Amino acid sequence: MTGPTLVFLHALGASAEEWKLVLDHLPTRDCVALDLPGYGAAARRGYLDVRAMADWLADEIRSRALTSCVLVGHSMGGKIVTLVAARAARGEIGLSGVLGVVLVAASPPSPEPMDEDRRAEMIGWFADNQASQAEAATFVDANTATRLADALRTSAIEDVQRSSREAWLGWLERGSREDWSADAGRITIPAQIVAGADDGDLGEDAQRRLNLPHYITADVQVVQGAAHLIPYEQPEVLASLLEGHVARVAQAELPPDFARLLASDRVSRRTRVALMDRMRPPPQTSLWAAEDRATATAIVAQILPDAGDVAVLADRIIASIADGTGDGWRFAALPPDREAWQRGLATLATSGFAALERDAQTRLLEHVADGAIGSSEDAAQLSPEQMALWFEDVRAETVRVWMSLPATMAAIGYDGFAVGGDGRRKQGYTRTAADDLETWQPSPERMS
């Protein structure tokens, strides 16, 4: 695995060239900067509406067989990225490799906030012909905090002038005004939302109001010394933010053969969504204090010391306990799971478990398993007998959740989730003998 591919979509009146300085600061990353239809080298394609542009981007991802990617959308491109991310999160075939999203001064799924007098002026530039050099310069200068360097400014102006008249007018008159909020919904794919400190319509306030609510896991960053054209104005800062986000989401990257199988029509949409959600950070809950999380993480590290990021695994486990999606049973001597975990973690916390040396933690858990730790007098704790049962349940739950993760399935070569897509006929297996793999099945050799 080489890390996710970054797929860049530009702003209105720009092209793939707007990302050149950003890409110069990402020399080790696999990057693809695309010209949206109607712009740059694709200007002759004219106008595609919002739905068609989302279809176009989804097809680009599939045609390039991207099993691991992060979508980066600037301004107009941000709206398209969000709609495709929503489709990926809903389990659309061929899009399960979308691991993350970065929105740069992005247009929201809802109608883009824009001063109507300025909209009318911009429409007027292309009303009868292409924009003049002076009109294109007005557009570029109005969207930067300070005047760009001459060569960069000239490049940005030329991009505006070579934009398709139909694409420019189509976006301003229709695309930017369309409301796709319901289609976007709430997206489970992690997002980084970037705003220019001096941006007007699409600054921090607009990003928090209009884009942030569509992402369950998102972080908003404000770039100083930039207005709307952040890729031109602060490319190094933007590249650094991209690096950080890519590094975080890359932890969910799967071996390419396994990722291709997950994205294929052998997997039902419902199954794909469930597995993809397990690749993403679990939702945070106010039920657990920092000490609870630290204790749970230390326990998981004892049970599965080689399970990778045990803190994320622990968060996933206690999140499932908080929302009641556990394994559906408990020991009769224990209270309901949520209460049992609260009291069990509290019992261990009395000994400062999370802060103990690893060997001391091991010895303490051995005593728990032997029924020697707990309190029958304190209603906030579990009795020694209950603690032994609870720790048995914790071990089972930890392994159950770990085994349910796509990364674990890939590591052990499990492909039983891929035997029936959404078609009328379920594919199943044709060959069932030991070590007799079908061509669609990943293997250690194929995944290496």
- Residue ranges, CATH 3.40.50.1820, the chain: 5-252
19 Rama sector, left if φ>0, alpha if ψ -120 to 50, beta otherwise: alpha
pLDDT over 90 (residue 405): yes
> Is-contact 10 16, C-beta < 8 A?
yes
Residue 308 CA, distance from chain mean position: 19
Q: What is the pLDDT of residue 183?
A: 97
Handedness of CA 313, 315, 321, 324 (dihedral sign): negative
pLDDT (mean) for 259-273 = 94
Tens digit of each residue's pLDDT (9 = 90 or more) over 362-373: 999 999 999 999
What percent of the chain stands above pLDDT 70?
99
pLDDT-derived band at 46 (thresholds 50, 70, 90) equals: confident
H-run or E-run covering 9: strand 5-9
Tens digit of each residue's pLDDT (9 = 90 or more) over 59-111: 999 999 999 999 999 999 999 999 999 999 999 999 999 999 999 999 999 99
pLDDT over 90 (residue 286): no
Handedness of CA 239, 241, 245, 248 (dihedral sign): positive
Which residues make Cβ contacts (< 8 Å) with residue 107, sequence separation at least 6?
A: 75, 76, 78, 79, 176, 202
Q: What is the pLDDT of residue 216?
A: 93
What percent of the chain stands above pLDDT 90?
85
Distance CA 202, CA 79 (A): 12
**Averaged confidence pLDDT in the chain:** 94
Tens digit of each residue's pLDDT (9 = 90 or more) over 318-337: 999 998 887 888 999 999 99
Q: What is the pLDDT of residue 48?
A: 94
Q: What is the pLDDT of residue 257?
A: 93
Question: In 3-state terms, what secondary structure has residue 219?
Answer: strand
Q: Quote the pTM value.
A: 0.90
Q: What is the pLDDT of residue 444?
A: 64
Q: What is the pLDDT of residue 280?
A: 87
pLDDT (mean) for 189-201 = 97
CATH class of domain segment(s) 5-252: alpha beta
pLDDT over 80 (residue 446): no
H-run or E-run covering 34: strand 31-34
Distance CA 12, CA 36 (A): 9
